[in-house]
Amino acid sequence: MISSTTRDSRLAPLRDHRSLFKNILRGIEKEGLRVDTTGFLASTPHPAAFGSALTNHHITTDYAEALLEMITGTHTTVAGLLQELWDTHEFVAGHLDGELIWNQSMPAHLPDEPDIPIAWYGTSNTGMLKHVYRRGLAERYGKTMQCIAGVHYNFSVPDTLWTQLGVAGDSPADQRSKGYLALIRNFNRYSWLLMYLFGCSPAVSTRFLRGARRHTLSQLDKDTLYLPHATSLRMSDLGYKNKAQSDLELCYNNLETFLKRMYDAVTTPWPKYQAIGTHRNGEWIQLNTNVLQIENEYYSSIRPKRTTGRCERPVTSLAAHGVEYIEVRCLDIDPFEAIGISSRTSHFMDAFLLFCAIEESPFFPNGGFCGDSHKNFAVVAREGRKPGLTLIREKAFIRLQDWGREILDRIAPYAELLDDALGEAGAQGYAAAVDSQRPKLDDPAQTPSAQLLQILRDQGTSLHDYSLSESGRHRNALLATPLAPAKIEAFKAEAARSVEEQAQFERGDTMDFTSYVARYHAALKRP
């Protein structure tokens, strides 16, 4: 446990460098299923108004054709970030012909597996690579899993922060990578708290389990299954889990070991996937038969990231240039917010991630195995509101509420520092965002997961019907104020540009797809 003296010794010098906190960048990738007016998964193609899903920088698709992904740029303020996310949602809502954005992480009513369309990106080699990768996901995890949605929070700090903290490194890139890996280690230690505070998927539709999967869920009503104390079934073992990935333990003690283990995962065959093969009836069905087809298949709650170009592999890019930013992947969609995340949550995330970056972050023992942290995360996802729940801290048990309050106390000085630097003190500031979480630890009924279940009980409605009603209400809120004409034109211009870029890819490809896949695999260099 970090003493207050140690913590203050790391914070004190930073108070004289407040300006660097003005250059913290944050961005969001928010997913949302397209559904029809009955809440059934949309079977229509990606709307033409959004341009190319392959090359549009702001509106694309994730794993399923109906799973929209709305992407912001990076912003120096939460207000700017959420305004762009709102504008994107507003444009999307205005161009969905009789469809809605499903504002819940767990899917709407789904058709049979064969009838769930896999995302399509055109006939270029780049587009086909993305499509075949998703075919592989369907083979490995099922298409139903491709319809789970979430909010990804991207975060970076100026390089000068690592210098001020005295992070050693042979180069700025090395120093930056070590700083972000330290942040990730702390994130793994404390991210169970995010599940408790913001998890909001304690229930699923009965159709999600298809009636064939064994489970321990209880029946809330004829259409809804739940766990009484769950916070996020999305991040539990009901989500993307399989034997191959459960055996994969990456190490965040240093970049070299992390990259080596990732390299091994994307180059080591897995017997079950070998039995499937890469082709069926002459068509590609997965990119390879390895533990992971590509690096992005590893479903961690946080990733070290670097922007990559066409046919560039993340492992190779990270090895050559180091970590650029981190991506948090464990946030559920907030069903009470029209854009799936609130200002308070975003402010809290900034303070939490800054806390993770600056606090002491010892290496994990036993080759980087962070088993207790993973156990804490998993138990909070499934039963975080269970009375008297204890977690493991430094090989001893501690009550969730006691540890949670202690972490909030430790985050509070970072929130105050951000308020001081960015001038956001007050009801909408960082300190207020941290303080607003304390009642949830005092009373689990205040958590969003508990509130959602209580609403379902009070209204006597199913998760599906409630989510459909709320998704319609959010659409109306988005469309209540017309989007400025200049912003509409900017979205249209990006859509047109993206269509032309995809066409250029398709016109310019001279290599057959099999050769392109071989080239893509060859781009992966041993770190």
Q: Is pLDDT larger for residue 16 or for residue 87? A: 87
pTM of the model: 0.96
Q: What is the mean pLDDT of residues 123-138?
A: 97
Give the integer Cα–Cα distance in Å for 206 and 224. 5
- Choose the weakest-confidence range: 7-11, 36-40, 177-181, 386-390: 7-11
pLDDT at 463 over 60: yes
Give the integer Cα–Cα distance in Å for 373 and 370. 5
Q: What are phi and psi of 283, to 5 degrees?
A: -115, 150
Distances (CA, A) of 466 to 108, 199, 213, 229: 11, 17, 24, 20
Give the integer Cα–Cα distance in Å for 356 and 348. 12
Confidence of residue 320 (pLDDT cuts 50, 70, 90): very high
How many Cα atoms occupy the beta-carbon half-sphere of 321 within 13 Å? 13
CA triple 260-266-268, angle to 5 deg: 90
How many Cα atoms occupy the beta-carbon half-sphere of 391 within 13 Å? 29
Q: Which one is the CATH code of 4-522: 3.60.15.10, 3.30.1330.30, 3.50.50.60, 3.30.590.20?
A: 3.30.590.20
Q: What is the mean pLDDT of residues 76-95?
A: 98
Give the integer Cα–Cα distance in Å for 195 and 210. 26
Q: What is the mean pLDDT of residues 502-514?
A: 97
pLDDT (tens digit per residue) in 346-400: 999 999 999 999 999 999 987 767 789 999 999 999 999 999 999 999 989 999 9
Helix (H) or strand (E) segment spanning residue 32? strand 25-35
Confidence of residue 12 (pLDDT cuts 50, 70, 90): confident
pLDDT at 8 over 70: no
Extract the tokens encoding 495.
């859509």
Query: What integer pLDDT is reported at residue 226 of this predicted model?
Result: 97
